[in-house]
Amino acid sequence: MKPVRTLIIRTAGSNCDYETVHAFKHAGSEINLVHVNEILANNIKLEDYHILAIPGGFTYGDDISAGKILANELKYKLKDQLDQFVKDGKLIIGICNGFQVLVKAGLLPEVQLNNGSQLVTLTDNDSGKFEDRWIYLKPVSKKCVFTRNMENIVYYPVAHAEGKFIPKSREVLQNLIENDQIVFQYINADGSEPDYPWNPNGSVNNIAGICDSTGRIFGLMPHPERHYHPVQHPRWTREGLKKDADGKIIFHNAVEYIKEFFSEKQKHKTLIP
């Protein structure tokens, strides 16, 4: 197949875009980092890409609420392109502010771009302050494409003020559990139930990341792109270098999935976008 192509969207306030570029590039993907206005002006089309990534930061200053303005741009101005992108079996990832964008745009926990009600949100941390620390995560979902073959606890940094995950109802939470859509949960260093600061924001059920029912749309508050290399671990000089950093697998899984998926489509002589 043609090279895997990843589109990374930035706008005013994005600040993790270059780290996300680095991660996907080293995972083997071609990259295009573009301002959202380039897509809105039809200079860039989603159909030309296999992976869509929305990085962290504070888009538009989070002036209304975290990620809300960019979410509205996606929901109301790019609905048709996003609908087709999802139908084509492609991948979407939102990290930190990108996760906030995905839930407020109606792409998580299920695609509801047709003015569907928002089922979950990410709101102010229980601590009432910006949380900037490294935390432990337990991989939960066997469905999520991005976390395939992840079994061990991982260590990622967080940096957010509005990261508390809240489902709209108990029914929504139960559906996430039953459908295997909870991808990551915060956990203590010893593997026990976390309290603050190991759950840095007070998220319900310690949820740090979820996917849609297909496993192809993924959002998480922690930053795997900031732990792509072993030397980014804050204690590597004391504990020694690991062979691989904990965040690397997220991006490699995405690229490998696209290669496998579209190679299979080629075998069946299906038109590849």
Q: Report, as residue numbers or ranges, the catalytic residues.
A: 96, 223, 225
Residue with tokens 């895997």: 4
- 266/264 Cα distance (integer angstroms): 5
Question: Nearest-5° angle of CA 77, CA 81, CA 85?
Answer: 140
- 108/54 Cα distance (integer angstroms): 13
Helix H or strand E segment including 105 = helix 97-105
Residues whose CB falls within 8 Å of the CB of residue 239, separated by 6 or more in sequence, listed in order? 233
Number of residues in the chain: 273
Residues whose CB falls within 8 Å of the CB of residue 247, separated by 6 or more in sequence, listed in order? 23, 154, 156, 223, 224, 225, 226, 227, 228
- Are the C-beta atoms of 38 and 81 separated by less than 8 Å? no
How many Cα neighbours within 13 Å face the side chain of 63?
6
- The DSSP secondary-structure symbol of 68 reads H
Q: Is 205 left (phi over 0), alpha (psi -120 to 50) or beta?
A: left
User: From the DSSP assignment, how many helices (H) and strands (E) are in the chain?
Assistant: 8, 11
